[in-house]
Structure 1
Amino acid sequence: MTKTALITGAASGLGYELSLLLANDAYNVILVDIDSEKLHLVKSEIEKSFSCKVTVLVKDLSVPDVASQIVEEINGAPIDVLVNNAGFGLFGTFNNTEWKRELEMLYLHIITTTHLTKLLLEGMVERKSGKILNISSLAAFQPGPLMSIYYASKSYLLSFSEAIANELKGSGVTVTVLCPGPTKTAFQDVVSENAADNKISFNMACPSEVARYGYNAMHKGKTVAIPGIINKFLATIHRFVSRGMAAKIVRNIQEKNRKE
């Protein structure tokens, strides 16, 4: 039987790449994003290249109760793969950043992702089959001065994913959390109003390679997936230095990239 995948943030970056991988494996795909124009371009591209059904939902995932709207609009369609990918960053000290934008980030990264997982997980458990791929970040492993809310929300995604992956052992449902380092996506362009002055170039990864790594890890049922040897090392740095020192290192990196 044909299976169906729902991907958030599907109009670009890792969401786009993961949508292509799923379509290539004959999944019907439900693409969710706020960018209607790009979303429909992706729909056309997939329909030209693959024999699968493509549904688009133009949604702002940073507003309350949008997860319920999505589930209502798919009208009970069983979802075999859920990819929680949508996200954005915000640069600056916490006392100077805009609360409205931070609240949107918290809704997007935490509330919507958690709620959508909650709503779709029930059917997966009943069918004793399903895969969930949450996109976190290397940022999840340490505090992040100058991007405090982003780092904290990605830490939540890592912890949440690991916890429910454990709960679901033996259920037929797996949860994978992908934690990439800097990846060449549109994310780099929306971190701040001065994005051109705040683009990280060190250890920059190709989005298609990162997506493939996460996709393979999901199908293997791996819980935590960290692509790249450097990233695997950086994810363990907290074992060797204090959290205060880790925060200082992150801040130095952030400030350096801000100036470049």
Structure 2
Amino acid sequence: MTKTALITGAASGLGYELSLLLANDGYNLILIDINNDNLQNAKTDIEKSFNCQVSVLKKDLSKPNVAIEIMDEINDAPIDVLVNNAGFGLFGTFANTEWERESEMLHVHILTTTHLTKLVLDGMIKRGSGKILNMSSLAAFQPGPLMSIYYASKAYLLSFSEAIANELKGTGVTVTALCPGPTKTEFQKVVSNNTSENKISFNMACPSKVAQYGYSAMKKGKTVAIPGIVNKFLSTIHRFVSRRMATQIVRNIQEKNRDV
């Protein structure tokens, strides 16, 4: 029986790359994104290349209760793989950034992701199988001055994923947190041009390779996946320096590159 995967933020970047991998493995796809044009293009491209059914839903994941809307529109169809990929960044000091945009970020990264996971998880547990991939970040491992809410929300996703992965042992359902470093996607277009995410190129990863790494980790049931040797080292920096120093290091990087 053909299985179904639901992917948020699927119209471009890592979401699109993960959709290609799922289609290649024979999954029917439900693609969700706020950009309808990109969604339609993704649907057309995937259906041309793979023998699978592709459904698309244009949704603003920053809106309250959008997870319920999604499940209603797909008629509570069984979801075998859930990829919570949607997200964006925001650069600036917390005192000066716009609350409306920050609230949208918290809804997308935390509330909608958590709610959608909860709604999909019930069916997975009953069927005794399922895989969930949550898009966290290398940012999850330390505080991030000048991108404070982004870093904090990614830390939530990492902690949440690790916790429920432990709870789900023995159920046949696995949860994986993918924690990439800077990756060449449309993320860089959304975040302020001042952020160091847009300045540092030495560790900029290819989205297809990051997606392949995360997809492989998900299939193996690995809980935390950090692509790249440099990123693996950076994720452990708190073992060698105090949290205060790690926080200042991030601040220094952001400050150094904001006016480049």
State TM-score, norm by structure 1.
0.98
Counterpart contact for 2:214–2:225, Cα < 8 Å: yes
2-structure distance, mates of 1:64, 1:111: 8
Corresponding residue of 2:154 = 154
Counterpart contact for 1:17–1:211, Cα < 8 Å: yes
- Measured after TM superposition, the shift of residue 194 of structure 1 is 5.5
- Measured after TM superposition, the shift of residue 252 of structure 1 is 1.1
Corresponding residue of 1:252 = 252
The superposition leaves residues 54-79 of structure 1 with CA deviations (integer Å, 9 ceiling, x where unpaired) of: 00000000110000000000102100
SS in 2 for 1:61: coil
1-structure distance, mates of 2:243, 2:13: 31
- Measured after TM superposition, the shift of residue 201 of structure 1 is 1.8
Structure 1 residues 135 and 197, CA, compared in 2 at 3 Å: closer, same or farther? Answer: closer
Counterpart contact for 1:198–1:258, Cα < 8 Å: no
Matches within 5 A, 1:200-215: 200-215=200-215
- Measured after TM superposition, the shift of residue 253 of structure 1 is 1.2
Structure 1 residues 196 and 148, CA, compared in 2 at 3 Å: closer, same or farther? Answer: closer
Counterpart contact for 1:140–1:154, Cα < 8 Å: yes
Structure 1 residues 140 and 195, CA, compared in 2 at 3 Å: closer, same or farther? Answer: closer
- Measured after TM superposition, the shift of residue 257 of structure 1 is 2.6
SS in 1 for 2:10: coil
When the two chains are superposed, the root-mean-square deviation of aligned CA atoms in Å is: 1.3
SS in 2 for 1:95: coil
Corresponding residue of 1:165 = 165
**4+ runs deviating over 6 angstroms:** none
The superposition leaves residues 224-259 of structure 1 with CA deviations (integer Å, 9 ceiling, x where unpaired) of: 000000000000000111111001100111122322
Q: How many residues align?
A: 260
1-structure distance, mates of 2:244, 2:196: 29
Does 2:194 match 1:184?
no
Counterpart contact for 2:91–2:194, Cα < 8 Å: no
2-structure distance, mates of 1:37, 1:176: 29
Percent same amino acid among aligned pairs? 79
1-structure distance, mates of 2:258, 2:170: 46
Matches within 5 A, 1:12-161: 12-161=12-161
State TM-score, norm by structure 2.
0.98
SS in 1 for 2:123: helix
- Measured after TM superposition, the shift of residue 202 of structure 1 is 3.0
Corresponding residue of 1:10 = 10
Q: Which amino acid aligns with 1:152?
A: A
- Measured after TM superposition, the shift of residue 197 of structure 1 is 9.7
Q: Which amino acid aligns with 1:201?
A: S
List alignment gaps of at least 5 residues for structure 2. Answer: none
Counterpart contact for 1:188–1:200, Cα < 8 Å: no
Structure 1 residues 204 and 196, CA, compared in 2 at 3 Å: closer, same or farther? Answer: closer
